Amino acid sequence: MSTAAPERLASPVLRGRRRTVGGYITMPLILAAVCLALYLYVASRDLDSIERRLLNADRLGSAIWQHVQLTAVSTVLTLVIAVPLGVILTRPFARRVRPFLIGLLTLGQAVPTIAILVLLAVAFLFLGFNAAIVGLVLYAIVPVLLNTMVGLEQVDAAVLEAGRGMGMSKFTVLRRLELPLAVPVILAGIRTALVINVGTATLVTYINAGGLGDIIVGGLSTNRFTVQLVGAALTAVLALVIDYLAGIAEDLLRPRGL
């Protein structure tokens, strides 16, 4: 694999002006309307005992909270691993091993998530939250790693030379020039990882890790369409909410002028 692979695989970054006030409030209004429509639809249905048990407020609240925990913890761990690894792989001493490591990680991402979770359960004989976190991290690490590498490598060499000419050490150049200029691309990778984790976290129900997957699978196993619809809709709304919040973080953390 050539060193150009990260450029092809990394997520694009949309640059330009920050959103207007209208741009910030449009998505919350749309999501609120979707949630209201979903509530009115469920309230209009004559639910049986199974549907009422699966769709009660406590059950849904617990599933949403578990899903948020799975997404947040796995994404934080992904950042702790992927960003430093991306920095290391852009250094000259790591250029030889970089194509092999990227190829291995990309190949691993091609494996279905449920297969990774099952392999973890079989190999290490543990289920639940911890196994789910390991699987989610393995699946989400690629976009953050590739975007970190692309962000660092696209920094203008003239800027780096100017920093070294001012007497900065290599670490200072990295900390004060490379990383700040790479922030937009890195944030795009983090945003992608968050959305990936929200979607794939629905599968961890099969290893007893909870989340909104419990609601969806509960509806599938009992052949209750309303339960399936609520679980899927809440997962989609949660993914859009997290993507919206990540977009705000992008706007706030992006250096001025980028």
What are the tens digits of pLDDT across the range 12-47?
444 445 567 667 888 899 999 999 999 999 999 888
| pTM, rounded to two decimals | 0.80
Report DSSP letters for 43-91, one per residue: HHS---HHHHHHSSHHHHHHHHHHHHHHHHHHHHHHHHHHHHHHHHHTS
The residue count for the chain: 258
Q: What is the pLDDT of residue 126?
A: 63
pLDDT more than 90, % of the chain: 34
51-106 confidence digits (pLDDT tens): 899 999 999 999 999 999 999 999 999 999 999 998 998 888 887 888 888 777 77
Q: Give the type of residue at 32.
A: A
More confident residue, 215 or 24: 215
The secondary structure element, H or E, covering residue 10 is: none
Kindly report the CATH number that applies to the domain delimited by 20-253.
1.10.3720.10
**Of the candidate ranges 126-130, 132-136, 249-253, the one whose mean pLDDT is the lowest:** 126-130
Q: What is the pLDDT of residue 243?
A: 92
Q: Give the 3-state secondary structure of residue 115.
A: helix
Residues 180-191 have a mean pLDDT of 89
Q: What is the pLDDT of residue 258?
A: 54
- pLDDT tops 60 at residue 185: yes
Q: What is the overall mean pLDDT for the chain?
A: 83
More confident residue, 257 or 160: 160
Structure tokens at 79: 């950042």
Residue 39 backbone zone (phi > 0: left; psi -120 to 50: alpha; other: beta): alpha
Q: What is the pLDDT of residue 249?
A: 85
What lies within 8 Å, CB to CB, of 106 at 6+ separation is 5, 9, 142
pLDDT category of residue 114 using cuts at 50, 70 and 90: low
Report yes or no: 67 and 201 within 8 Å, Cβ to Cβ: yes
What's the longest Cα–Cα distance across the chain?
74
pLDDT category of residue 108 using cuts at 50, 70 and 90: low
